[in-house]
């Protein structure tokens, strides 16, 4: 078959987008999705997203997210922001959206090049002696370090991702973080399902912002995150239960489109 695709990126986290409202692609076709994401034999991406019709009449669309390994996974923050830009290109939405993803309903807005995505409330943060763990739609292990550029992300990240601690939960993403100003953190992420460092991770930087606030590394509820692929920001409200009104903002851009025979 000939498949039309669109390539988007959000701070260097890149995705193949498919308008799957006619259900051309089966979500169980792990081999095809893995092939499309392959950087040598396919299009190349950190993940693939199907834009589908939602069962919820209040939604504009539904997001179905797959990691580069071809498996459907938990929420992708940068992917969600890119999907909103794609829905705008398709004419499904104008400057605001509501959609359902695997972790529930999300709202989003577009202002110029910046796409902001409302993430789920976070109620549970596990603070340990040398790391913090929380789930912002995807699971994130967070390590604060003195010099993030010296870390061997693939070696150290995969050791934690495959450790006994996370086995029962199908592993975790791992974020290495350095404070560079009172409200600014440099973040490098090892991503589960890509099994390598990606240039940026949206649910990852969201987790870092909340973890930094919770552990008093910042007292700002608007945190700037610098990733190898660009800058993001996360704002939130602290509540009795945890964090609400969590918004992830940054650029989301069209890269190229094409047709692939598969
Ligand atoms: N790149 C993503 C995270 C995608 C999900 C992750 N790889 C996982 O399987 O948990 C983001 O921007 O949030």
Q: How far is the CA of 193 from the centre of ligand 1 (A)?
A: 8
Q: How far is the CA of 58 from the centre of ligand 1 (A)?
A: 26
Q: What is the mean pLDDT of the chain?
A: 98
pLDDT for position 134: 98
Helices and strands (DSSP H and E) totals, the chain: 5, 17
CA nearest neighbour of 79 among 58, 57, 102, 95: 102
Q: How far is the CA of 77 from the centre of ligand 1 (A)?
A: 7
How many CB atoms are closer than 10 A to CB 77?
29
Q: Classify each residue of 37-56 as buried b or exposed e, where b means 16 or more C-beta atoms within 10 Å of its C-beta.
A: beeeebbebbbbbbbbebee
Is residue 10 lining ligand 1, measured as CB closer than 6 Å?
Answer: no
201/2 Cα distance (integer angstroms)? 30
Question: Is 262 an active-site residue?
Answer: no
The residues that bridge with 247 in the sheet, in sequence order, are 118, 235
Is residue 138 lining ligand 1, measured as CB closer than 6 Å?
Answer: yes
Q: What is the pLDDT of residues 239-259, one digit of tens each?
A: 999 999 999 999 999 999 999
Is residue 13 lining ligand 1, measured as CB closer than 6 Å?
Answer: yes
244/92 Cα distance (integer angstroms)? 27
Q: What is the pLDDT of residues 133-160, one digit of tens each?
A: 999 999 999 999 999 999 999 999 999 9
Give mean pLDDT, residues 191-214: 98
pTM here is: 0.98
pLDDT for position 239: 96
Domain 125-249 class, CATH top level: alpha beta
**Where are the domain boundaries for CATH 3.10.310.10 in the chain?**
2-117+252-261, 125-249
Contact (Cβ atoms closer than 8 angstroms) between residue 61 and residue 69: no
Q: What is the pLDDT of residues 28-77, one digit of tens each?
A: 999 999 999 999 999 999 999 999 999 999 999 999 999 999 999 999 99
Question: Is 76 an active-site residue?
Answer: yes
Q: What is the pLDDT of residues 216-246, one digit of tens each?
A: 999 999 999 999 999 999 999 999 999 999 9
Question: Does residue 169 register a pLDDT over 90?
Answer: no
Q: Which of 138, 162, 252 to mutate to test the pocket of ligand 1 (most atoms within 8 A of CB)?
A: 138
Bind-site residues: 13, 67, 77-78, 173, 191-192, 202-203
Percent of the chain with pLDDT over 90: 98
* 141 φ, ψ (degrees, to nearest 5): -95, 130
Give mean pLDDT, residues 97-102: 98
| Domain spanning 2-117+252-261: CATH superfamily | Diaminopimelate Epimerase; Chain A, domain 1 (3.10.310.10)
pLDDT for position 193: 97
Can you tell me whether residue 74 is helix, strand or coil?
coil
Q: How far is the CA of 119 from the centre of ligand 1 (A)?
A: 13
Task: Given the residues 37, 76, 82, 262, select the one marked as catalytic.
Answer: 76
Report which protein residue has its CA nearest ligand 1's atom 2: 76
224/231 Cα distance (integer angstroms)? 7
pLDDT for position 31: 98
Question: Does residue 111 register a pLDDT over 90?
Answer: yes
């Amino acid at each position: 078959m000939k498949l039309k695709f669109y390539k988007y990126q959000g701070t260097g986290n890149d995705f193949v987008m498919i308008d799957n409202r006619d259900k051309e692609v089966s979500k169980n076709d792990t081999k095809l999705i893995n092939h499309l994401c392959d950087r040598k034999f396919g299009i190349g991406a950190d993940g693939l997203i199907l834009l589908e019709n939602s069962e919820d009449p209040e939604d504009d669309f539904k997001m179905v997210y797959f990691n580069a390994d071809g498996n459907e996974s938990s929420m992708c923050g940068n992917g969600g922001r890119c999907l909103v830009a794609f829905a705008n290109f398709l004419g499904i939405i104008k400057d605001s959206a509501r959609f359902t993803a695997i972790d529930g309903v999300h709202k989003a807005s577009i202002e110029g090049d910046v796409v902001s995505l409302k993430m789920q409330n976070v109620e549970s943060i596990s603070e340990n002696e040398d790391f913090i763990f929380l789930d912002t739609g995807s699971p994130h292990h967070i390590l604060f370090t003195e010099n993030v550029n010296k870390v061997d992300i693939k070696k150290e990240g995969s050791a934690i991702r495959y450790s006994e601690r996370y086995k029962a939960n199908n592993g975790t993403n791992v974020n290495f973080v350095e404070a560079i100003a009172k409200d600014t953190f440099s973040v490098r992420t090892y991503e589960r399902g890509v099994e390598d460092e990606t240039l940026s991770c949206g649910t990852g930087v969201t987790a870092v912002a909340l973890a930094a606030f919770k552990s008093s590394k910042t007292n700002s509820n608007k945190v700037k995150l610098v990733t190898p692929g660009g800058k993001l920001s996360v704002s939130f409200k602290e509540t009795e239960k945890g964090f609400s009104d969590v918004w992830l903002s940054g650029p989301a851009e069209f890269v190229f489109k094409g047709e692939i025979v598969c």
